[in-house]
Amino acid sequence: ASSFLSVTDLYVHFATEDGTVKAVDGLSFDLERGSTLGIVGESGSGKSVTNLAVLGLHNPRNTTIRGEIVLDGQELTGASERQLNRLRGKKMAMIFQDSLAALSPFYTVGRQIAEPFMKHTGASRREARARAVDMLRKVGIPQPELRVDDYPHQFSGGMRQRAMIAMALVCDPDLVIADEPTTALDVTVQAQILDLLKSLQQETGAAIIIITHDLGVIAKTADQVMVMYAGRCVERGTVKEVMHHPQHPYSWGLLSSVPRLDSSVEIPLVPIPGAPPSLLAPPPGCPFHPRCGFSDRVPGGACHTVRPELPDAQQRGSACHLTETQKESVFTEQIRPR
């Protein structure tokens, strides 16, 4: 229990006019310094919400959070807005998909990188500007001492993404959460940005959570993987275990095109027939059962009535009633040889 980031039994529920949306419904995971956790799943699986909860970026008026989020020994779930503000930027930072939305069009790129640095370190304007130039250099912007005075629209999409990374990393955060960080970029730029993130991680020892629907991104960056479905983790393990030897029928669907680990092309998830369940009224039993082709192998109709749990206290496992032998034989006989 001395992990750098430890999330235990996290529930994030939203009150809506139609009822309670169980966006995250009992999630636990650990993350060590210097390592990368990839979270994969369809949209609406709870992967973004989980991370907004870690950052404390939810609307407290309609959101109920239960469970424990501990970052470097500090409990975040009960933390005040003021405490969280102090942590954001300095201890944890977020990289978004859309750099145009994250960067203000009205301020120079340099100012937007310098500002959080001044706020968190008390540096002077001059020091912060020098730091901004340094950061732009670090993320590979040519002529950073000139470009520091540019506005975001004067940067290309790839450069803006780099600038956003510079802004996120300016205070040397220990935890970086990247939500679809390369989705809007072309494949070559994507690969460069991911390489950049990895090398910055090696330099600073930051822990990274990367949220993506792109299995190529997972293969290229992650050490551990969590597959999420309907607000829960249905399978976890190392990147090799999950991508090359998946155990859960949902993962079998998603991973039907497993990329080579050195692949740099985009490999989207394979669409699975049917839609993710409503999180207002998730199906009883296994939330995946309406879409699962294997529930008839589980005796007693348990898939329809009993919620499968992820085995505790181990990194490798899947939440599915099939026996280990069944998982193994279905995967090797039916799934792999396609």
- Contacting residues toward ligand SF4, per CB under 6 A: 248-249, 286, 288-289, 292, 294-295, 298, 303, 308, 320-322
Contact 198, 221 (CB under 8 A): yes
Task: Looking at residues 199 to 218 of the shown chain, list those that interact with Mg ion (rule: CB under 5 A).
Answer: none
- Name the residue nearer to ligand SF4 (CB basis): 188 or 305: 305
- Name the residue nearer to Mg ion (CB basis): 115 or 179: 179
Which of ligand SF4, Mg ion, none lies near 178, with the C-beta cut-off 5 to 8 A by kind? none
> What is the smallest separation between the CB atom of 46 and Mg ion, expressed in angstroms?
9
Secondary structure element (H or E) that encloses residue 236, with its range: strand 232-238
- Name the residue nearer to ligand SF4 (CB basis): 245 or 289: 289
Which of Mg ion, ligand SF4, none lies near 249, with the C-beta cut-off 5 to 8 A by kind? ligand SF4
- Name the residue nearer to ligand SF4 (CB basis): 4 or 288: 288
d(CA 39, CA 99): 21
Structure tokens, 46: 């709870």
- Only one of the segments 3-11, 42-50, 285-293, 313-321 lies at the binding site for Mg ion (rule: CB under 5 A); that segment is 42-50
- Name the residue nearer to ligand SF4 (CB basis): 181 or 285: 285
> What is the smallest separation between the CB atom of 190 and Mg ion, expressed in angstroms?
17
d(CA 259, CA 212): 14
- Only one of the segments 24-32, 40-48, 154-162, 232-240 lies at the binding site for Mg ion (rule: CB under 5 A); that segment is 40-48
- Name the residue nearer to ligand SF4 (CB basis): 13 or 232: 232
- Only one of the segments 24-32, 46-54, 138-146, 317-325 lies at the binding site for Mg ion (rule: CB under 5 A); that segment is 46-54
> What is the smallest separation between the CB atom of 324 and ligand SF4, expressed in angstroms?
12
Structure tokens, 321: 């009633």
Which of Mg ion, ligand SF4, none lies near 321, with the C-beta cut-off 5 to 8 A by kind? ligand SF4
Per-residue DSSP letter, 171: T
**What binding mask, one character per residue, do residues 48-87 give for Mg ion by CB under 5 A, x or -?**
x---------------------------------------
Structure tokens, 283: 């199906």
The tally of CA atoms less than 13 A away on the side-chain side of residue 148 is 22
For the four alpha carbons of 12, 282, 284 and 51, in that order, the dihedral sign comes to: negative
d(CA 2, CA 261): 30
Structure tokens, 121: 């370190």
> What is the smallest separation between the CB atom of 45 and Mg ion, expressed in angstroms?
9
Contact 222, 29 (CB under 8 A): no
Within a 10 A sphere around the Cβ of 67, how many other Cβ atoms? 16
- Name the residue nearer to ligand SF4 (CB basis): 161 or 247: 247
Structure tokens, 182: 């390369």
Contact 191, 264 (CB under 8 A): yes
> What is the smallest separation between the CB atom of 265 and ligand SF4, expressed in angstroms?
29
Task: Looking at residues 273 to 312 of the shown chain, list those that interact with Mg ion (rule: CB under 5 A).
Answer: none
CB-based burial label for 123 (10 Å; 0-12, 13-18, 19+): middle
Site for Mg ion (CB under 5 A): how many residues?
1
Structure tokens, 255: 């991973």
Q: Which residue has the tokens 């005796």?
A: 299
Contact residues for Mg ion (CB under 5 A)? 48
